[in-house]
Chains A and B, each alone.
Chain A
């Protein structure tokens, strides 16, 4: 599995390095492109209110929410774009969107 976690391709290749038809030989490489810096609002989950239904996991466009076997959820801020769909759809109103500020 260690191979899976390495990015083997040059992110800025010259045209000479491009394979024929620009095929991408390694699957799922977009995991190495972090979209979290698009975000201007961050979802904050209130663990006491969360009922563990998994709707936020289901409705997340960026697969940035992890839903564990015990029902708890966690946001992966490396990928979260801050769209707020999870906060809107949460039936328990356990997610609030907090504005990102410079620390």
Chain B
């Protein structure tokens, strides 16, 4: 790959924590693992904006905060609008000489509800206006913070409290919204997908997203222990299987050119990913085959290689 790499191994990552200990995320939370790495990649020179969601709830019960950097909590729908405003304000203050001229990264870190459903129009608008900020979506595939309600990012067949499993309806009947593709079609300079099971890949993508001129978007799959109905110790294992089965391919789109960053030469059967999770426990073989067919088709179009 011709891309420059900011971090080659785990040893290159800073030891300093900017998302510190003592946050109240569930034991084994994939989102906490991802945010730790994201903050290491961005570094201390930043302003973070988070809408409502798990991240906000676990990191800021007054008077405790897990953030070592300036951090805003805003309403569910407007993380991207606030990030645009912060970026524009910094620009003006620097032009007027109130602030010293230097690069301050403006980063919005939101959940999947705050990105693909509620915050979608704010995000789309901010991308279209071309503000210089990075938007990071932590996708745990439902509204986990309020008690596991389905979102646009919930995959087909998954159980949630609002897509219950019964005789007539068996989990969510719609497919997952392909958010990275929707964002990429705004024609922004950088879009990537990442996952905490591949930490070096994740930090490089986040670093690239904040360093690039103009808007950038990173979609991070973060396993949720209570919502996915998994034991707390396998959250990373499940995230890795999502990549290895082709359900969540890791790629980046830079100036319209798509590159796979983690190649999966021998794709595993989706069953290996689904059977670990209680939210898919009800799926029959036909339903699993239906998911496999769709994954095969999508993998083929991305050039992910054949199934093992």
Chain A: residues with CB nearer than 8 A to chain B? 9-11, 13, 18, 22, 24, 26-35, 38-39, 53-55, 57-64, 67, 76, 78-79, 81-85, 87-89, 97
| B28→A61 contact, CB < 8 A | yes
| A58→B232 contact, CB < 8 A | no
Q: Is B235 an interface residue (CB 8 A)?
A: yes
* Known A24-B62, A28-B66, A54-B10: A85·B23 in contact at CB below 8 Å: no
Q: Is B37 an interface residue (CB 8 A)?
A: yes
CB distance from B149 to the nearest CB of A (A): 23
* Known A61-B32, A62-B23: A27·B67 in contact at CB below 8 Å: yes
7 new A-B contacts at CB < 8 Å, known A27-B68, A64-B21: A22-B62, A24-B64, A28-B68, A30-B64, A58-B33, A62-B25, A81-B28
Q: Is B148 an interface residue (CB 8 A)?
A: no
Bound-state Cα–Cα, A47 to B220, Å? 33
| B21→A30 contact, CB < 8 A | yes
The bracket for how many chain B residues form the interface is: 35 or more
Chain B: residues with CB nearer than 8 A to chain A? 10-11, 13, 15, 17, 19-25, 27-30, 32-33, 36-37, 59-60, 62-69, 196, 199, 225, 231-237
Q: Which of B225, B231, B232, B237 is the most central at the interface, judged by chain A CB atoms within 10 Å of its CB?
A: B232
| B22→A31 contact, CB < 8 A | yes
B residues within 8 A CB of A64?
Answer: 21
| A27→B69 contact, CB < 8 A | yes
What would be 8 A-B contacts, judged by CB atoms less than 8 Å apart?
Answer: A24-B65, A26-B63, A29-B64, A33-B24, A33-B64, A54-B11, A85-B233, A97-B233
A residues within 8 A CB of B22?
Answer: 30-35, 62, 79
Q: A61 contacts which of B20, B36, B68 (Cβ < 8 Å)?
A: B36
| A9→B63 contact, CB < 8 A | yes
Bound-state Cα–Cα, A67 to B13, Å? 11
| B21→A55 contact, CB < 8 A | no
| A61→B15 contact, CB < 8 A | no
* Known A24-B60, A24-B63: A88·B23 in contact at CB below 8 Å: no
Return the chain A residue nearest B10 by Cβ: A54
Q: Which of B21, B27, B66, B237 is the most central at the interface, judged by chain A CB atoms within 10 Å of its CB?
A: B21
CB distance from A25 to the nearest CB of B (A): 9
Return the chain A residue nearest B25 by Cβ: A61
Q: Which of B10, B19, B65, B67 is the most central at the interface, judged by chain A CB atoms within 10 Å of its CB?
A: B65
B residues within 8 A CB of A38?
Answer: 27
| A85→B66 contact, CB < 8 A | no
Q: B30 contacts which of A10, A29, A58, A61 (Cβ < 8 Å)?
A: A61
A residues within 8 A CB of B231?
Answer: 84
B residues within 8 A CB of A59?
Answer: 33, 196, 199, 236
